[in-house]
């Protein structure tokens, strides 16, 4: 089974339907790992029931990486296509939304970024797994008795910062919070800091590359972005991304170049919007101001702060 990708989006409908059908065919509810094993046709471990290997969805996604299937299932949970039937074990059932999706032929497009294991999520996942393993060894009990994979997933989805946040998470009961809460919160905080450092180091290394340095030179030489595009052969989108990295890593100040490419009135209007709004998304700015997306991206960059933006770009 294959899914189609369009630019930065992926049609996850085939994977979603395979998951939905599997849950429908099972007589009991199971969690993410077991459902993934079925659609992957993964025979490495013993099955709960041998009949599960005879399901029509068995192995239908055998060419898909495990992590991608699990990320899609997680997205389906977060967007209420799947519901949790048991908070302790994270077993899954179908919502009405899932049933409606199976009845239509419409695609289900999701941005690749939403499905990716970006830096902060990857480091937090590894850190929480290491914590869980350490606790299981010291307390001489299986890792799932420390906290389950479902609870781990919910921690990743919410990234709690306080004990109040932690207690509101499905799968985190009072006992777990009292026993491991402070360790979990400290682990997540440290993982975020580590991710910020790793992302910044990678960006600093990236801007020293040939493409970035050639664009930097041209930005210093030329007055218009069209000339930079013409000389490099890069798309405008790529030039803007390079400008963002150059600016936010401190490699160069692109504000003078932005001032040469945007009308003062538009620059003032857009930068004031981004400074004052609590929702500085380009779509919101576009609908409010009517300026094109390229102009808005440069205006948002004009007032950008490296510390607030750096993790979002990972």
Structural domain count, the chain: 3
Residue at which a domain ends, from 140, 170, 199: 199
Residue 86 three-state SS: strand
Residues 190 and 216 reside in one and the same domain: no
Which of 53-67, 263-277, 295-309 is least confident? 295-309
Residue at which a domain ends, from 115, 131, 163: 115
Residues 109 and 174 reside in one and the same domain: no
- Is residue 295 within 8 A of residue 262, CB to CB? The reply is yes
CA distance 36 to 243: 41
- At residue 1, the pLDDT reads 60
Residues 75 and 19 reside in one and the same domain: yes
Number of residues that make up the chain = 314
Which of 111-125, 149-163, 284-298 is least confident? 111-125
CATH number, domain with residue 178 = 1.10.150.80
The share of the chain scoring above pLDDT 70, in percent, equals: 94
- At residue 3, the pLDDT reads 57
- At residue 314, the pLDDT reads 37
CA-wise closest residue to 314 among 153, 213, 161, 201: 201
CA distance 85 to 110: 25
Across-strand partners of 34? none
Mean predicted confidence (pLDDT) in 22-34? 94
Residues 73 and 57 reside in one and the same domain: yes
User: Across all residues in the chain, what is the average pLDDT?
Assistant: 89
* The pLDDT of residue 272 is above 90: yes
Q: Write out pLDDT tens, residues 127-151.
A: 999 999 999 999 999 988 898 888 8
CA distance 115 to 109: 11
Which of 49-53, 105-109, 275-279, 300-304 is least confident? 275-279
* The pLDDT of residue 169 is above 60: yes
Residues 212 and 309 reside in one and the same domain: yes
Range of the domain at 59: 5-115
Residues 71 and 30 reside in one and the same domain: yes
CATH number, domain with residue 21 = 1.10.10.10
CA distance 1 to 15: 8
Residues 10 and 108 reside in one and the same domain: yes
Q: Write out pLDDT tens, residues 36-91.
A: 999 999 999 999 999 999 999 999 999 999 989 999 999 999 899 999 898 777 89
CA distance 203 to 1: 36
pTM of the model: 0.65
Which of 11-15, 197-201, 253-257, 265-269 is least confident? 197-201
CA distance 228 to 257: 11
- At residue 130, the pLDDT reads 96
DSSP-derived secondary structure letter, 208: T
Q: Which residue has the higher pLDDT, 182 or 306?
A: 182
* The pLDDT of residue 310 is above 70: no
Residues 36 and 134 reside in one and the same domain: no
Q: H helices of the chain, where?
A: 13-25, 32-40, 66-78, 96-103, 112-115, 119-139, 143-146, 149-158, 163-167, 174-206, 210-221, 225-232, 236-248, 255-261, 264-276, 282-289, 293-302, 306-309
Residue at which a domain ends, from 60, 88, 115: 115
Beta-carbon contacts of 92 under 8 Å, excluding residues fewer than 6 positions away, are 23, 29, 30, 31, 32, 35, 73, 77, 82, 83, 84, 85
* The pLDDT of residue 221 is above 60: yes
Residues 58 and 91 reside in one and the same domain: yes
- Is residue 278 within 8 A of residue 285, CB to CB? The reply is no
CA distance 283 to 151: 33
Where do we find the tokens 């040469």? 260
CA distance 93 to 83: 5
Dihedral sign computed on CA atoms, order 39, 41, 46, 52: positive
Q: How far is CA 120 from the centre of its chain?
A: 9
**Exposed, middle or buried: residue 309 (CB in 10 Å: 0-12, 13-18, 19+)?**
middle
Residues 279 and 265 reside in one and the same domain: yes
CATH number, domain with residue 228 = 1.10.10
Residues 243 and 291 reside in one and the same domain: yes
Residues 194 and 211 reside in one and the same domain: no
CA distance 122 to 191: 9
* The pLDDT of residue 7 is above 50: no
């Amino acid at each position: 089974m294959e899914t189609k990708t369009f630019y930065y989006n992926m049609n996850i409908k085939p994977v979603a339907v395979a998951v939905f059908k599997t849950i429908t065919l099972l007589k009991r509810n199971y969690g993410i790992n077991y459902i993934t094993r079925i659609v992957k046709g993964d025979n490495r471990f013993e099955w709960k029931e041998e009949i599960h290997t005879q399901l029509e969805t068995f192995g239908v996604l055998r060419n898909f990486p495990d992590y991608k299937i699990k990320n899609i299932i997680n997205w389906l949970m977060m967007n209420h296509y799947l519901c949790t039937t048991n908070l302790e074990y994270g077993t899954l059932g179908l919502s009405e939304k899932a049933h409606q999706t199976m009845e239509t032929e419409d695609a289900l497009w999701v941005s690749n970024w939403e499905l990716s294991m970006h830096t902060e999520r990857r480091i937090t996942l590894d850190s929480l797994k290491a914590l869980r393993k350490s606790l299981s060894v010291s307390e001489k009990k299986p890792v799932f008795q420390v906290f389950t994979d479902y609870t781990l997933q919910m921690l990743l989805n919410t990234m709690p910062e306080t004990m109040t946040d932690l207690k509101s998470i499905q799968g985190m009961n009072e006992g777990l919070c009292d026993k491991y809460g402070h360790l979990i919160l400290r682990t997540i905080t440290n993982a975020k800091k580590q991710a910020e450092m790793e992302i910044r180091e990678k960006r600093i290394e990236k801007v020293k590359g040939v493409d970035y340095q050639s664009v930097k030179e041209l930005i210093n030489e030329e007055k218009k972005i069209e000339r930079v595009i013409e000389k490099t052969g890069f798309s405008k989108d790529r030039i803007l991304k390079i400008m963002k990295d150059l600016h936010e890593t401190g490699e160069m100040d692109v504000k003078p170049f932005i001032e040469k490419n945007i009308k003062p009135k538009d620059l003032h209007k857009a930068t004031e919007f981004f400074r004052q709004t609590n929702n500085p998304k380009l779509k919101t700015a576009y609908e409010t101001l009517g300026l094109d997306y390229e102009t808005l991206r440069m205006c948002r960059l004009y007032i950008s702060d490296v510390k607030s933006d750096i993790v979002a770009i990972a």
